[in-house]
Amino acid sequence: MNSFFPRRYVVQGIFIVITVILLARLFYIQVIDKSYFLSANNNVLRTVTIYPARGVILDRRGKILVQNEPVYDLMVVPREVTPFDTLEFCRLIGISKANFTKKFEKAKSFSPYRGSVLEKQLSAVTFARFQEKLFEFKGFYIQKRSVRRYPDSIAAQFLGYINEVNENDINKSNGFYNPGDYIGRTGVEKSYEEVLRGQRGVQKLMVDAFNRPKGHYAEGKYDTLASTGDNLISSLDKDLQKFGEQLMNNKIGSIVAIEPSTGEILAFVSSPSYDPNLMVGRYKGNNYMRLLNSPNKPLFIRPIQAEYPPGSIFKVINALIGQQSGAINAGSQFFCGGGYRYGRRGLMRCTHVHGSLDLAQSIQYSCNTYYGFVYNRMIDHSGMRSAKAYQKWFDAVARFGVGSKLGIDLPNERKGNLPSVSFYTRHFRSDKWTSSYNISLSIGQGELGITPLQMANVVAAVANRGFFYTPHLIKAFGEKKVIKEEYTRKNSVGVDARYFAPVIEGMSRVVNQPGGTASYSRIYDIEMCGKTGTVQNPHGEDHSVFFAFAPRNNPKIAIAVVVENAGFGATWSAPIASLMVEKYLRDSISRPKAYVERLLKANLLPGAKPKPRAIQRNTGDSTVQKLELQPVETITPKAVLKDE
pLDDT digits over 204-214, tens only?
777 766 556 66
Beta strands 474-477 and 232-234: pairing type? antiparallel
Residue 165 or 37, more confident: 165
Could you give phi then psi for residue 249, rounded to 5 degrees?
-60, 135
Is residue 7 classed as helix, strand or coil in its secondary structure?
helix
Q: Is residue 103 a contact partner of residue 119, using CB atoms and an 8 Å limit?
A: yes
Q: Which residues contact 108 (CB under 8 A, 6 or more apart)?
A: 78
Nearest to 452 by CA among 528, 544, 385: 544
Is residue 237 classed as helix, strand or coil in its secondary structure?
coil
Q: Is residue 303 a contact partner of residue 256, using CB atoms and an 8 Å limit?
A: yes
Stretch 541-570: mean pLDDT: 94
DSSP letter string over 265-327?
A: EEEEEEES---GGGGSSTTHHHHHHHHHH-TT-TT--HHHH--B--GGGGHHHHHHHHHHTTS
pLDDT of residue 209: 61
Is residue 183 classed as helix, strand or coil in its secondary structure?
strand
Q: Is residue 201 a contact partner of residue 226, using CB atoms and an 8 Å limit?
A: yes
pLDDT of residue 205: 73
pLDDT of 71 higher than 80: yes
Report which residue type is found at 151. P
- Residue 570: CB atoms within 10 A of its CB come to 31
Beta strands 57-58 and 232-234: pairing type? parallel
Please state which of the ranges 42-46, 357-361, 595-599 shows the lowest mean pLDDT.
Answer: 42-46
E strand or H helix at 504, and its extent? Answer: helix 500-512
pTM: 0.84
Q: Cα separation of 116 and 98, whole Å?
A: 18
pLDDT of 616 higher than 50: no
Q: Is residue 155 a contact partner of residue 276, using CB atoms and an 8 Å limit?
A: yes
pLDDT of residue 131: 87
pLDDT of 620 higher than 80: no
pLDDT of residue 625: 33
Nearest to 41 by CA among 30, 32, 51: 30
User: How far from the centroid of its chain's Cα atoms is residue 316's Cα?
Assistant: 28
Task: Read off the pLDDT band of 483 (50, 70, 90).
Answer: confident
pLDDT of residue 455: 98
Q: Cα separation of 226 and 248, whole Å?
A: 41
Residue 17, burial from CB neighbour count under 10 angstroms (0-12, 13-18, 19+): exposed
pLDDT of residue 635: 34
Domain spanning 45-234: CATH 3.40.50.300: no
pLDDT of residue 284: 86
pLDDT of residue 359: 97
pLDDT of 639 higher than 50: no
Please state which of the ranges 68-77, 448-457, 583-592 shows the lowest mean pLDDT.
Answer: 68-77
Dihedral (C-alpha) 605, 609, 614, 617: value to the nearest 10 degrees?
100
Q: How far is CA 452 from CA 273, 394, 414, 516, 612, in A?
A: 16, 20, 11, 23, 25
Q: Cα separation of 390 and 434, whole Å?
A: 9
Percent of the chain with pLDDT over 70: 88
- Residue 339: CB atoms within 10 A of its CB come to 17
pLDDT of residue 530: 97
Q: Is residue 632 a contact partner of residue 306, using CB atoms and an 8 Å limit?
A: yes
Q: Cα separation of 513 and 190, whole Å?
A: 46
278-315 pLDDT per residue, tens: 998 878 888 999 998 887 788 999 999 999 999 999 99
SS3 sequence, 77-117?
Answer: CHHHCCCCCHHHHHHHHCCCHHHHHHHHHHHHHHCCCCCEE
Nearest to 466 by CA among 487, 497, 440: 497
Beta strands 529-535 and 334-336: pairing type? unpaired
Architecture of domain 238-601: 3-Layer(aba) Sandwich (3.40)
pLDDT of residue 631: 32
pLDDT of residue 590: 92
Q: Is residue 84 a contact partner of residue 140, using CB atoms and an 8 Å limit?
A: no
Nearest to 116 by CA among 47, 57, 53: 47
Q: Is residue 139 a contact partner of residue 78, using CB atoms and an 8 Å limit?
A: yes
Locate CATH 3.40.710.10 in the chain: 238-601
pLDDT of residue 351: 86
pLDDT of residue 219: 67
| Mean predicted lDDT score pLDDT of the chain | 87
Q: Cα separation of 274 and 291, whole Å?
A: 9
pLDDT of residue 230: 93
Stretch 401-408: mean pLDDT: 96
pLDDT of residue 573: 96
Residue 16 or 269, more confident: 269
137-182 pLDDT per residue, tens: 988 988 888 889 999 999 999 999 999 899 899 999 888 998 888 8
pLDDT of residue 238: 97
Q: How far is CA 616 from CA 84, 113, 523, 568, 623, in A?
A: 73, 74, 16, 9, 18
Stretch 437-464: mean pLDDT: 96
pLDDT of 619 higher than 50: no
pLDDT of 273 higher than 50: yes
Q: Is residue 269 a contact partner of residue 248, using CB atoms and an 8 Å limit?
A: yes
Q: Cα separation of 235 and 34, whole Å?
A: 56
Stretch 504-518: mean pLDDT: 94
Please state which of the ranges 89-93, 130-134, 182-186 shows the lowest mean pLDDT.
Answer: 130-134
Residue 40, burial from CB neighbour count under 10 angstroms (0-12, 13-18, 19+): exposed
Q: Is the peptide bond before 52 cis (omega within 30 degrees of 0)?
A: no
Locate CATH 3.90.1310.10 in the chain: 45-234
- End-to-end Cα separation, the chain, in angstroms: 88
Sign of the Cα torsion 44, 73, 127, 77 reads: negative
Percent of the chain with pLDDT over 90: 59
pLDDT of 586 higher than 80: yes
The angle subtended at Cα 405 by Cα 401 and Cα 410, nearest 5°, is 125
Q: Cα separation of 515 and 510, whole Å?
A: 8
